[in-house]
Amino acid sequence: MKFLIKNGTVVTGGGVFDQDILLNDGMIAEVGENLRADDKFEVFDAEGYYILPGLIDICTEICDPGCETRENILSVSKTAAKGGYTSLASQCNTDPPVDNKTLTSYVVTKSRQQSLVNIFPCGSMTANGHISEIGEMLNDGMIAISDGGVSVEDTMLMLNILDYARMFDIPMIVTCEDRRLANSGLINKGRISTMLGLRGIPREAEELMVARNLLLARDHNPRLHIANISTRGSVELVRSYKKAGMDVTCGTAPHYFTLTEDALETYDTFAKVKPPLRTRDDLEHIIEGVADGTIDVISSGHSPVTIDSKLQEFDRAEYGISSLETSFPVSYTALVEAGHISFPRLIECMAQSPAKILGLKYKGDIAPDHDADLCLISKTGRYTIDGASFASLAKFTPYQGREVSGEVRYTMVGGQVVYVK
| Mean pLDDT confidence for 255-266 | 98
Predicted model pTM: 0.97
pLDDT at 295: 98
Find the distance separating the first CA and the last CA of the chain, reported in whole Å. Answer: 19
Percent of the chain predicted with pLDDT > 70: 100
pLDDT at residue 274 in the model:
96
Q: What is the β-pairing status of strands 187-188 and 85-90?
A: unpaired
Distance CA 252, CA 298 (A): 5
Q: Which of 274, 301, 309 is nearest to 70 (CA)?
A: 309
What pLDDT does 370 receive?
A: 98
d(CA 103, CA 403): 40
Average pLDDT rounded to a whole number, residues 227-247: 97
Cα separation, 7 vs 275, in Å, equals: 42
Task: Tell me which residue of 398, 393, 287 sits closest to 346, measured CA to CA.
Answer: 287
| Gyration radius of the chain's alpha carbons | 21
Interatomic CA distance for residues 147 and 131, integer angstroms? 11
Domains of the chain: residue spans and CATH? 57-360 (3.20.20.140)
Alpha-carbon distance of 272 to 146, in angstroms, equals 22
Confidence of residue 219 (pLDDT cuts 50, 70, 90): confident
CB neighbours of 211 closer than 8 A, spacing ≥ 6?
A: 237
Q: Is the pLDDT of residue 39 over 90?
A: no
What interhelical angle do 280-292 and 232-243 show, nearest 10? 30
pLDDT score of 1 more than 80: no
pLDDT digits (tens, 9 = 90+) for 337-351: 999 999 999 999 999
Task: Give the C-alpha separation, 335 to 111, whole Å.
Answer: 33
76-117 pLDDT per residue, tens = 999 999 999 999 999 999 999 999 999 999 999 999 999 999
Rounded distance, CA 330 to CA 327, Å?
A: 5
What H or E segment, with its residue span, contains residue 135?
Answer: helix 134-139
Question: Which has the closest alpha carbon to 89: 118, 53, 125?
Answer: 118
Confidence of residue 221 (pLDDT cuts 50, 70, 90): confident
Query: How many angstroms separate the CA atoms of 195 and 264, rounded?
Result: 11
Mean pLDDT of the chain: 96
Q: Which amino acid is at 115?
A: S
Over 80: is that where the pLDDT of 419 sits? Answer: yes
Q: Are 174 and 58 in contact (CB under 8 A)?
A: no
Does pLDDT of 220 surpass 90?
A: no
Residue 152: pLDDT band (50, 70, 90) is very high
